[in-house]
Amino acid sequence: MECIFCKIVRGESIAEVLYENEHAISILDINPIHFGHALVFPKQHSETFLSVPEEELPDVMKATHIVSKAIVNAFQPEGFNIFSNNGRAAGQSVFHFHLHITPRYVEDDIKFILKLKQYGRGEMNDYANRLRQHIKPNSTHNH
């Protein structure tokens, strides 16, 4: 099945376009959490965040920043969420990477239900070391 976001980029499917730049486009979500809920995605098809070419990320983040400001200015929400689902297990349903920006209100009864865990003795350092082994040495910062 053809990717709906790619069809929108090519102008073959209608959408309420909010903003676009060289590498990114923002539209209103057709099934919003709250009215004004927007999506931002790269124009070039990339299934998940990890497959977005690095040179396109600044335009994606710039679009996210511009549209987030517009949502706050237009609707005066008490807060907003920016999130992305990557992979089926994370809730991704359209397999073209996208960020959600949704206004939030104190009494909106929308909850991300989490079961937080606690690291055992020494486990936090073990997990950090495992991650650091996969991060280029010149990109780490010791805090």
Q: For residue 78, what are its two tokens?
A: 């008490």
Q: Any idea which residues carry the catalytic annotation? A: 98
